[in-house]
Structure 1
Amino acid sequence: MAKLILNPWLELQDMRDEILKLMEAIEDVPSKQKERDIYGVWKPVADVYEVEDGFVIEIEVPGISEDKINLELKGSELRIYGERRLEKDVSGSEYHLLERSYGPFVRKFTLPDYVEKDKISARLKDGVLVITLPKKKDLQRNIKIEVK
């Protein structure tokens, strides 16, 4: 079964995020979360799986509308970027806990050569962005080769 190649830098970013979470837990300083959100260092969680005729990427983006999400294909790299804004007016109040992430985000995925890049589609439903990446047709069927 073929695998979708993920950007190795995302693994480093995951490790960095985990280290930041550990540091926040140790320091118990909520301002670290706010600082991280201001600089856009967050990424929505994603699942990537393969089906018979392609791949599917599902990304959780609750509270973000279609007009705040962009998909871009540069060579073999699929970039998903957007922004979730804190739109509540909380003037005169102070947060005691701010766990949700706000600000810009970027997710990047390296696509295999056999993805039909011109047929990639995306839809947003119930806060989940579902991206369908069809495989090229000639790769989907098994071809019987006669042995002589």
Structure 2
Amino acid sequence: MIADDRGLAAVARVREVREQDSRMGLVHADREHRAVVARAEELDHLVDTHQAAAGEPLPAGQWAAQRTVLGTVAAAARRTHREADAAGVVRTAAQEHWQQDRSRLRAVETLLERRAEARRAEAARAEGRLLDDLGAQRWLRAREEQAE
């Protein structure tokens, strides 16, 4: 690696670590979001089950208890849906952060690749010039030998 690229390579390593960290944050946020959504779906299912059972004739005490349970489960379901919405916002923010970090890393990697390609092209041109010079020298020697 050329001395000019050492600093850029260090920047690339830092960007790579940041990208990995933000990717792990995204994975964690996604897991949290999925877990909260699953809990919300379970609670919705419980609410549906209790509502279906509420249509059956029951003694007043059981009916009141069932309505209390239904109200509690429905409140928990609403609260869990709000938590799922908040977790979705966090997940979206984590995804945007990861995409930004990934974009920055790709920019540095692209710059490093372009610099390496430019050095290879310059080396190929220098080699071509050298081969042209050697060919010209050989042609001159051959011509001088023919002249003698």
Normalized against structure 2, the TM-score is what? 0.31
Tell which structure's C-alpha radius of gyration is larger. Answer: 2
More strand by share: 1
Greater relative contact order (Cα < 8 A, sep 6+): 2
